[in-house]
Amino acid sequence: MAQSTTYNVAGDREDLTNFLTILEPEDCPKTSTFAKTTKVTNALQTWQADTLAAVDFSGVLEGQDVQAFNNESANRARFGNYIQTFRRPWMVSRLQEASDPAGISSEVAQSKVKAMREIKRSIEAAIGSDNDMQADNGVVPWKTRGLGSWIRATAQSTNPVPTAFLTPSASIDTTATGSLTESIFNDVFQSIFQVNGGRRNYTLFAGPSLKRAVSKFQRVEGASGTTKTYQVMQDANEGKVTLNVTIYDGDFHTVTVIPDMFNGLLDGADPSVTTNQQKARGYVIDPALVGLGTMLGMQADELEDQGGGRRGFVSTSLLLVCKNPKGLGKFAATS
pLDDT digits (tens, 9 = 90+) for 120-131: 999 999 999 999
Close Cβ partners of 252 (under 8 Å, ≥ 6 residues apart): 186, 189, 190, 192, 193, 199
| Maximum CA extent, the chain | 121
Helix (H, G, I), strand (E, B) or coil at 198: coil
Helical (H) or strand (E) element with 296:
strand 290-303
Contact status, residue 207 vs residue 216, Cβ threshold 8 Å: no
**206 residue type, one letter:** A
pLDDT tens-place string over residues 275-302? 999 999 999 999 999 999 999 999 999 9
pLDDT of residue 1: 55
pLDDT at 324: 95
**Distance between CA 267 and CA 82 in Å, rounded?**
17
Q: CB neighbours (10 Å) of residue 202?
A: 22
Rounded to 5 degrees, what angle do the CA atoms 184, 189, 192 make? Answer: 135
Instruction: Report the distance separating Cα 330 and Cα 206, nearest Å.
Output: 10
Give CA–CA dist 197/168, Å, rounded.
Answer: 14
CA distances from 20 to 16, 32, 107, 108 (A): 10, 25, 12, 15
Residue-by-residue pLDDT tens, the chain, 335 positions: 556 556 555 555 555 454 555 445 668 999 999 999 878 999 999 999 999 999 999 899 999 999 899 999 999 999 999 999 999 999 999 988 888 887 778 888 889 989 999 999 999 999 999 999 999 999 999 999 999 999 999 999 989 999 999 999 999 999 999 999 999 999 999 999 999 887 789 999 999 999 999 988 876 666 665 555 555 555 656 655 555 668 888 888 889 999 999 999 888 888 888 899 999 999 999 999 999 999 999 999 999 999 999 999 999 999 999 999 999 999 999 98
Q: For residue 13, what pLDDT is reported?
A: 54
What is the predicted pLDDT for the residue at 38?
A: 72
Contact between residue 309 and residue 151 where contact means Cβ atoms under 8 Å apart: no
Of the candidates 300, 189, 291, the residue with the CA atom closest to the CA atom of residue 249: 189
CB burial of 15-29 (b: ≥16 within 10 Å; e: otherwise) equals eeeeeeeeeeeeebb
- CA distance from start to end of the chain: 62
